[in-house]
Every structure is written in structure tokens, then in C-alpha cells.
Amino acid sequence: MGYWDDSRGKFFALILGTLLTTFLVFTLIWALYKHCCKCVVPYGVCQPLKVRLLHILLLMLFALDYGLWKLGLSKWLTLLNLAFDGIPPSDDPSLSIKDTFFEGIFVRLYQPKAPSTVPRRGIMFFHGGNGILGSVNSYERLCRYIARESSSVLVSVGYQLAPDSPYPSQFNECHDATVHFMKNAENYGVDPARIIISGDSFGGTITAYLCQELKSRTDLPKVRAQVLLYPFLQVMDFTLPSYQQNRFFPLPMLRDWAMFAVHYLGLPTSLADVATSGTLVPEDSKRKFGKWVHWDLVPYKFRMRNPKPTPPAPSKDNLFNVINEVLGRKLSPLLAEDSFLKELPDTFILTCEYDVMRDDGLLYKKRLEENGVQVSWYHLEDGFHAVLVLLNHWLITFPCAKTGMDTVISYIRGL
């Protein structure tokens, strides 16, 4: 009896191992096919071979995540989020790191241990991830680096993700956590006059919106500066040069990013193609906001890589509510009226050459300067979207990540 039980166990283990191996092989073949046939990695990007390997790995993780979701074994993006969290770094003897809550919102507080004779700067940080990916854990190394190197108190906000926590709860949570910190800054050894709001990608969207919202509050100290790292700032025009030049760059490809965006907003996936084709927004809205967001407003040197596209035919779908929402200041702070931009705090904007969102940052820089805002800008010529979060991640870090972050640190130290 024992012999048969042992044989049967080995047989099922063999079957399971064979199925798993077959699945992994097909996953690798699919990832290689999609990368080689669908993606373009320019030679000018930082370490192009490593970019390719990273993208293939991400595609395999995405396929595994999708398979587990379809089998009912996990929620969609669970595996991807676990992978993004990565292996926790070892303790940092220079920082006191504490998980706590601001107004019921989870935050991670980083405080330098070295004594200071004066109150420190305070930094609110909002992570990226389209509102459906990322966490304080996946940005742990980046936040440690900022707090340690700038000798600042940093608060990383762990806002809840969609679809479990639908849009716009992420904006509301970041708002409430920021207001709490600003009102109680002195309790954390922070000078209320030196509070910086910052974020990357989608976190940059939240940062830009909150600074517009908070600038007129008389019950709060004035924000000292906003730091926008390759921010996403508008949903009106996806035919800008950077969206066209980098639409097939793999981190992320334009259509993949659009699919995540419509998933975040709880919209039909078919709208991803409508948006990326440039037919989402009707002509009257394009004319209204064209004075701020238009191909011809992007500096010439950033338009050289491709010709001006043929204007797409306008959409005939009834998308009135969707259009009103995506053109609002939450999702498109670049489209805010001048009154919301005047007297904004000093601003630092970092853009990357190989990033679909590059021109959002360039056009926001232009608008802020036209409204009298002091803007510092740094452009990573060999950088790509989300490269900074890979800082100090062993084999998958990139030299341009440190270059970009050291520029950010230098700016923060000067405040």
C-alpha cells in the first residue's frame, strides 16, 4: 500500500512539475515575442540591454499574474505588486523608520537619527503606479535615500489602490495626510515653513493637484516647494511628440499605460484605444486647451525625432461625463486656469527623454514660468519612466537613477 501511495505521489508531482515547466516556457516565449515584435529600445537609453531584460522579466511576471487571476487563485496584479515590493532592505542605522497613521491613512515616517540644532525640512511623498500598483514598500529604498541624503523628515503615504478603493479616493487620502502633517509639523521636528510636496508619475499628478488646492488655504502654512518626478499631467492630447516617439518604448508602452489608466478609472478597456488614437477629446475642448497643450508648444529639439502626425478624426461616442472628469484638475492639472497656477510654490520638474509623459512636464514648466512661478528643471537624456524607483535595487538599478536623484537631493538641500 505504501509503495502505491509513494508512486502515485511521485506521479502527481511529475505531472505538476511538467505543467509548471511548460507554462513557464510558454510564458517566456510569449514575453520574448511581445518584446521583440512590439517594443522599440533606442540606443540612446541608459543600458539598453538591461532595459530589454527588465522588460522581458516584467512581461513574464505579468503573464504569471494574469494566469493566477484567471484560475481564481489571486486578484489581478497581486503577484506584480508583490514583485514590485521586492525584498526589504536591511536596517538603516542613520534613520528612524516608523509605520503609523495620519487621519486613519497609513504612512511610513522616516526621521534622521542625527541631532539637529534647527527644525528639519518635511517632505510628503506620493508613489506612482497609476493608482493600481505600488506601495510604500516598493518605494522604500528611494524614500530612504531622499530622507538620508537630504537630512529631511519624509512621510511616504500608503494610499489604497483601485479597484478596491476607487478613484478619487487616492487624491482624498493624500490630501488628508498632507493637511495632518502640515498642521502638526512641529511634533515631528519639522519647520512648517519648509514643507515640500513630492511624487513620481501618478504621485506627481497628485502633487500638482494638491499644490493647486492648498495654495489658498489660510489655515495652513505655505508649501515651500513641489517636486514633480516625470509627472503625468494631462489626458487631453496623446499625440504630443513624446507620446508618439516613445509609444513603443517598453517601460511603459503607451497602450499598456492607457489600459492601466482606464482600469484605475473603472472605464471600459475599449477607451484605451480611443484615448491613445487622439479621438477621446472633442474638437471644441482641443481648441479651448490648445493654447496650453499642443504639438507646436513643445520645444523644437524635442520634436525632431518624428514628423507631426495627421490629426485624427474626432470621436462620435457619447463620452461627455468621462471627458469632463479627465480634463478636470485632478487628472489634468496642466489644464488648470491661470488663477490656480499663480503663486504656486517653487517647483522642481524632472523629465526623461524616453518617457511618454516627458512633454507633460515640459509644458507644465512653460505654464508655471508664464505665471511667475520659479521653476528648476532637470532632463535625463538617457532616462526612462520610473527609473528612479530602481535606485539601489542591485542588478536592476541604472546609473541615470542616481544621477537624477542626486540632482533632486541637491535641489531639496537648497530649500
Single-letter residue type at 309 = P
Please check whether residues 208 and 345 belong to one and the same domain: yes
Please check whether residues 342 and 228 belong to one and the same domain: yes
**What pLDDT sits at residue 5?**
53
- What's phi and psi for 236, nearest 5 deg? -85, -45
- Please check whether residue 289 lies inside any domain of the structure: no
Which helix or strand (DSSP H or E) is residue 47 part of? none
- Please check whether residue 310 lies inside any domain of the structure: no
> Left if phi > 0, otherwise alpha if psi is -120 to 50, otherwise beta: which for 258?
alpha
**How far apart are the C-alpha atoms of 413 and 149, rounded to whole Å?**
9
Q: Catalogue the E-assigned strands of 215-360.
A: 225-229, 346-354
- Please check whether residue 247 lies inside any domain of the structure: no
Please check whether residues 11 and 147 belong to one and the same domain: no
- Please check whether residue 46 lies inside any domain of the structure: yes
Please check whether residues 115 and 210 belong to one and the same domain: yes
- What's phi and psi for 141, nearest 5 deg? -65, -40
Please check whether residues 192 and 224 belong to one and the same domain: yes
Question: What DSSP designation does 151 have?
Answer: T
Catalytic residue among 237, 355, 360, 382: 355
H-only helix segments in 39-139 = 48-70, 78-85
Please check whether residues 222 and 353 belong to one and the same domain: yes
H-only helix segments in 92-139 = none
- Please check whether residue 307 lies inside any domain of the structure: no
C-alpha cell at 406: 542626486
Please check whether residues 346 and 401 belong to one and the same domain: yes
From 15, 50, 84, the end of a domain falls on 84
- Please check whether residue 272 lies inside any domain of the structure: no
**How far apart are the C-alpha atoms of 263 and 244, rounded to whole Å?**
22
From 36, 51, 84, the end of a domain falls on 84
Q: Which residues in the chain come in under a pLDDT of 70?
A: 1-9, 11-12, 307-320
C-alpha cell at 37: 515584435
Q: Which CB contacts under 8 angstroms, 24+ apart, belong to 20-28?
A: 23/67, 24/60, 27/60, 27/63, 27/64, 27/67, 28/56, 28/60
Please check whether residues 181 and 227 belong to one and the same domain: yes
Cis amide leading into 231 (omega within 30): no
221: domain CATH number is 3.40.50.1820
- What's phi and psi for 76, nearest 5 deg? -65, 135
Catalytic residue among 201, 242, 315, 332: 201
Please check whether residues 44 and 147 belong to one and the same domain: no
Q: Which domain holds residue 43?
A: 2-84
The answer to whether residue 201 is catalytic is yes
The answer to whether residue 94 is catalytic is no
Please check whether residues 100 and 54 belong to one and the same domain: no
**What pLDDT sits at residue 312?**
58
C-alpha cell at 354: 524616453
**What pLDDT sits at residue 130?**
95
**What pLDDT sits at residue 307?**
65
From 84, 104, 126, the end of a domain falls on 84
Total tally of structural domains belonging to the chain: 2
- Please check whether residue 334 lies inside any domain of the structure: yes
**What pLDDT sits at residue 324?**
84
Please check whether residues 72 and 100 belong to one and the same domain: no
Catalytic residue among 127, 175, 263, 385: 385
- Please check whether residue 178 lies inside any domain of the structure: yes
Single-letter residue type at 198 = S
**How far apart are the C-alpha atoms of 415 and 412, rounded to whole Å?**
5
Cβ atoms of 176 and 220 closer than 8 Å: no
**How far apart are the C-alpha atoms of 226 and 375, rounded to whole Å?**
10
The answer to whether residue 393 is catalytic is no
**What pLDDT sits at residue 23?**
78
Question: The whole model's pTM is what?
Answer: 0.94
Please check whether residues 80 and 140 belong to one and the same domain: no
